[in-house]
Amino acid sequence: MNTIVIAADRLRQGLEEALGRTGASAESVAAARRAMMHASLLGVDSHGARLVAHYCQVLASGRVNPTPTLSVRRTGPSTAMVDGDNGLGHLVAYRAVEVAVDLARESGIGAVGATRSSHFGAAGAYARVIAEAGLVGFATTNSDSVVALFGGATPFHGTNPLAFAAPVGAGRPWLLDMATSSIPLNRVLLYRSLGSDLPEGVAADAAGQPTREAEAATMLLPLGGPGFGFKGAALAGVATLFAALLTGSTLDPDFIPMVGTADMSTPRGMGHFVLALDPDRFGGRDAFAAGIGAYLAMLRASPAADGSAPVLAPGDREWAVEAERLANGIPLDPDTAAFLGFG
Amino acid sequence: MNTIVIAADRLRQGLEEALGRTGASAESVAAARRAMMHASLLGVDSHGARLVAHYCQVLASGRVNPTPTLSVRRTGPSTAMVDGDNGLGHLVAYRAVEVAVDLARESGIGAVGATRSSHFGAAGAYARVIAEAGLVGFATTNSDSVVALFGGATPFHGTNPLAFAAPVGAGRPWLLDMATSSIPLNRVLLYRSLGSDLPEGVAADAAGQPTREAEAATMLLPLGGPGFGFKGAALAGVATLFAALLTGSTLDPDFIPMVGTADMSTPRGMGHFVLALDPDRFGGRDAFAAGIGAYLAMLRASPAADGSAPVLAPGDREWAVEAERLANGIPLDPDTAAFLGFG
């Protein structure tokens, strides 16, 4: 596959132009572009610019409202709900984050549920903004069924991400953005096209039996694999608990699939959940800053089992990728490059 | 190993008498007994009655204050800190839960950090109480270093549990209580005494290399194992983030070890964190109840890969064990049985 490398500024501009041509509102375009640039810069390519053609399609076909009117309903000193009016998930989730940060600044904590939303890309894009505001952040969503339950024979949960982030003094945030499966579904497609075997314990065949054959794999296995996948499956349930059950939104098996369906015109009714906590209402901002500094210093100084691969904190790899890509450009797959006119 | 089976009431009485003889306050005794009974009834034997001799020892030797005066400092409409006065972790964590539930009833959410605490047993004991109050619960703690980082050659994080719970109408709560390692350390000891091989990818030798030899294993590997343990290691970091960094408490590598140290007189300065959320401030109590009912029905009706093992929701196994043990008694290891006078 010939990747094409594009400078970050040019990619940002290309995303803005492509989204703008759909008639989406300026704030919708800005939010989707921002979230895709987060993912593309940090190396989360599955959720970056690759999805722009999909977002343009669903904006044009009625699934996603290009000009939504979001509404915020405050339900207490620290809680709120955002109605996304079926707009782009990025817009809805960034709005939820704004509200959560405002609530946390005011009351010490902000917990915000979002409804009537759509695919929001990488969960880390939202947790990160909370950390950049000096707060501890959590963001999650659920999605359509592609991951087996532990011992299950059919896809049940989505890859349901959990993202946490925390401020680190003058440095980049501690940032965890993980699917609750071991790998994403498009990794299976990549192994298929490469003709190579999957890692052990990450996918199953149509009967729910673990398989390393990419061609035979029809669903993912939860984190922990055949031995300990009850933990990954339960963590997928945590995403469903916060994003769907707490907000009153769609359950994983009830979603219209993101892709591979003829229905691109019915809104998917997706829920999200974000949380922001102010260290000043707990052990205090100074103790937090000193603690996380000491923690990360100890972690990074910890000896590695393999001398060639240093021990990393969550986010270390991603921020390094960002620095490299800001300097050298962002690799794009040929289809996306052509879609954006970079062919 | 000859286990001795004791009726739940008799065990409860035995725990109360043993703890009472240390001079611990009545509320300390009641809290530790309650948390141990939770674990022993639900089959979390690593954190149940087995620990009573340890708790009696640390109450007698100065590490844990047998007559603490806890104090609660409210820091906002939805936040508080509990100072544990170096008392038993069970007492401190149940107090934190009480405060979080009160805050959530009042404001919609309650987030409570605890400091100057000690080992609190099973994290699920606390998340469960929040769910039994009709709220969504989260509880976590960090602990002393026994789990390698991903690619690390030395123990760094504790087994750092994450516990989540949610109310289920008239049924028992949805309940997840998981270590962020694949197995607990005492499972390695069990495999050693049985002379059998460990499962793949759960433990490492002194150089940090994965090993299946129980005798060679000196540390645990994070959930996800050699392939995807960066996720388990990051989840261990989530426990440290909430329980230690946010509260200003002890980092995993800085703890006086729970056992295997001569120092049983210095308080360990352990932190905890609990969160309670009221569905009524999000999608509403009725939508939540309907949603979780539908979710669990779909989950339990989902086909199993192996016809003999049904698909389970988090907590299903534990509540079934509780029913069985309430009917037939609780198995105790011989040392604990002898300590409690059941020999």
In a domain, B298, yes or no: no
> Rounded to a whole number, what is the distance in Å from the CA of B310 to chain A's nearest CA?
8
Does the residue B51 lie in any domain? no
Q: Residue A183 contacts by C-beta under 8 Å, 6 or more apart in sequence?
A: A198, A199, A202, A203, A220, B228
How many C-alpha atoms does A171 have within 13 Å on its Cβ side?
17
Give A111: exposed, middle or buried? Use CB within 10 Å, 0-12, 13-18, 19+: buried
| Residues paired with residue B304 on neighbouring β-strands, in sequence order | A152
Q: Would the pLDDT of B309 be above 90? A: no
- Chain B environment of A234 (Cβ under 8 Å): 164, 176, 178, 314
> Could you give the C-alpha distances from B144 to A192, B124, B155, in angstroms and in order?
43, 19, 9
Q: Examine the pLDDT at A134 and tell me if it is beyond 90.
A: yes
B79 touches chain A (CB under 8 A): yes
Q: Hey, what are B119's tokens?
A: 């080992």
What would the pLDDT profile of A309-320 be if each residue is shown by its tens digit? Answer: 889 999 999 999
pLDDT tens for B90-116 read 999 999 999 999 999 999 999 999 999
Which residues are registered as beta bridge partners of B69? none
B60-84 residue pLDDT tens: 999 999 999 999 999 999 999 999 9
State the Cα–Cα distance between residues A52 and A12, nearest whole angstrom: 11
Chain A residue whose CA is closest to B180: A231
Contact (CB, 8 A) for A41 and A326 = yes
Instruction: Tell me the C-alpha distance between B83 and B115, whole Å.
Output: 5
- Min mean pLDDT across A44-53, A56-65, A300-309, B39-48 is at A300-309
Chain B residue nearest residue A209, CA to CA:
B305
CA atoms within 13 A on the CB side of B221: 28
Q: What is the ipTM of this complex?
A: 0.98
The rounded mean pLDDT for chain B is 96
The answer to whether B132 and B172 have CB atoms below 8 angstroms apart is no
Q: Residue B219 in contact with residue B204, Cβ under 8 Å?
A: yes
Q: Is B136 close to A207, i.e. CB distance below 8 A? A: no
Measured in whole angstroms, how far is the alpha carbon of residue B214 from the centre of its chain? 24
Q: State yes or no: pLDDT of A1 exceeds 60.
A: no
Cβ of B153 within 8 Å of Cβ of A304? The answer is: yes
Of the candidates B231, B237, B277, the beta carbon closest to that of A223 is on B231
Q: Does B152 touch chain A (CB under 8 A)?
A: yes
Structural contact between residues A111 and A119, judged by C-beta atoms closer than 8 angstroms: no
pLDDT grade for A187, boundaries at 50, 70 and 90: confident
Cα atoms in the 13 Å half-sphere on the side-chain side of B21: 12
Question: Using the beta-carbon criterion (under 8 Å), do B283 and A246 form an inter-chain contact?
Answer: yes
Decide if pLDDT at A266 tops 90: yes
Measured distance CA(A245)–CA(B94) in Å, rounded: 26
Instruction: Give how far Cα B248 sits from Cα of A340, B71, B86, B98, B273, Å.
Output: 48, 16, 15, 21, 11
Does a structural domain hold residue A154?
Answer: yes
Residue A332: predicted pLDDT: 96
- Per residue in B224-261, pLDDT tens? 999 999 999 999 999 999 999 999 999 999 999 999 99
The share of chain B scoring above pLDDT 90, in percent, equals 94
CB contact under 8 A, A283 and B209: no
Phi (first) and psi of residue B327, to 5 degrees: -80, -40
How high is the pLDDT of residue A189? 86
Closest by Cβ to B113, choosing from A208, A242, A283:
A283
A186, amino acid identity: N
Q: Which residue has the tokens 């200003």?
A: B248
Which token pair is B105?
Answer: 């009833």
pLDDT of A185 reads 87
Whether B234 and A314 have beta carbons less than 8 Å apart is answered as yes
Q: Please give the Cα distance from B148 to B229 (Å, whole number).
A: 9
**Contacts for A85 with CB less than 8 Å, ≥ 6 apart:** A65, A68, A69, A70, A71, A116
pLDDT at A302 over 60: yes
Q: Provide the token pair at A19.
A: 């989204």
Of chain B, the percentage scoring pLDDT greater than 70 comes to 99
Residues of A whose CB is below 8 A from B245: 166, 279, 283, 288, 291-292, 295
Record: contact A282-B166, CB cut-off 8 A: no
Tell me what pLDDT residue B189 has. Answer: 86
> How much is the average pLDDT of B183-210?
92
Q: Under a CB-based contact definition with an 8 Å cutoff, are residues A240 and A248 in contact? A: no
B190 pLDDT tier (thresholds 50, 70, 90): confident
* Per-residue pLDDT at B1: 57
CB of B320 within 8 Å of a chain A CB? The answer is no
Q: List, in sequence order, the alpha helices (H) in chain A.
A: 8-20, 26-42, 52-61, 89-107, 124-132, 185-194, 225-240, 285-300, 316-328, 334-339
Span A123-150, average pLDDT: 98
Closest to A110 in 3D by CA, of A68, A72, A71 = A72
Asked if residue B316 belongs to a domain, the reply is no
Name the residue type at position A209: Q
Q: What's chain A's length in residues?
A: 343
pLDDT(A91) > 80: yes
Q: What is the pLDDT of residues B145-163, one digit of tens each?
A: 999 999 999 999 999 999 9
| C-alpha span between A77 and A109 (Å, rounded) | 9
pLDDT score for B123? 98
With a cut of 90, say whether residue A234 has pLDDT above it.
yes
Verify whether the Cβ–Cβ distance B152 to A279 is below 8 Å: no
Contact between A127 and A105 under an 8 Å Cβ cutoff? The reply is no
Torsion of CA B328, B329, B334, B335, to 10 degrees: 170
Separation CA A158–CA B300 (nearest Å): 17
What Rg do the C-alpha atoms of chain B give, in angstroms? 20
Q: Name the residue range of residue A189's domain.
A: 67-284
Mean pLDDT to the nearest integer, A212-227 = 96
Calculate the CA dihedral of residues B153, B156, B158, B162 and round it to 10 degrees.
Answer: -100
User: Would the CB atoms of A111 and B109 count as touching at under 8 Å?
Assistant: yes
Cross-chain residue pair B241–A75, CB shorter than 8 Å: no
Residue B22 placed within a domain: no
The CATH number linked to B104 is 3.30.1370.60
Answer yes or no: is B119 within a domain. yes
Q: What is the pLDDT of residue B288?
A: 98
Q: Does A289 touch chain B (CB under 8 A)?
A: no
Task: Report the residue of A74, A117, A252, A281 to disrupt the B interface, i.e. the one with the largest count of B CBs within 10 Å.
Answer: A281
Q: Alpha carbon B2 to chain centroid distance?
A: 26
The amino acid that residue B284 corresponds to is G
Enumerate residues 22 to 61 of chain A having a beta carbon within 8 A of any beta carbon in chain B.
Answer: none
Q: Is A180 exposed, middle or buried (0-12, 13-18, 19+ CB in 10 A)?
A: buried
Mean pLDDT of chain A: 96
List the Cα angle A131/A136/A141 in 5-degree steps. Answer: 90
Which member of A223, A302, A309 has the closest CB to residue B156? A302
Q: How many CB atoms lie within 10 A of CB A54?
A: 13
Q: Which long-range contacts (CB under 8 A, 24 or more apart) does A289-294 make?
A: A289/A167, A289/A169, A291/B244, A291/B245, A291/B248, A291/B251, A292/A166, A292/A167, A292/A168, A292/A169, A292/A174, A292/B241, A292/B245, A293/A168, A293/A169, A294/B251
Number of structural domains chain A divides into: 1
Question: Is the pLDDT confidence value at A308 over 80?
Answer: no
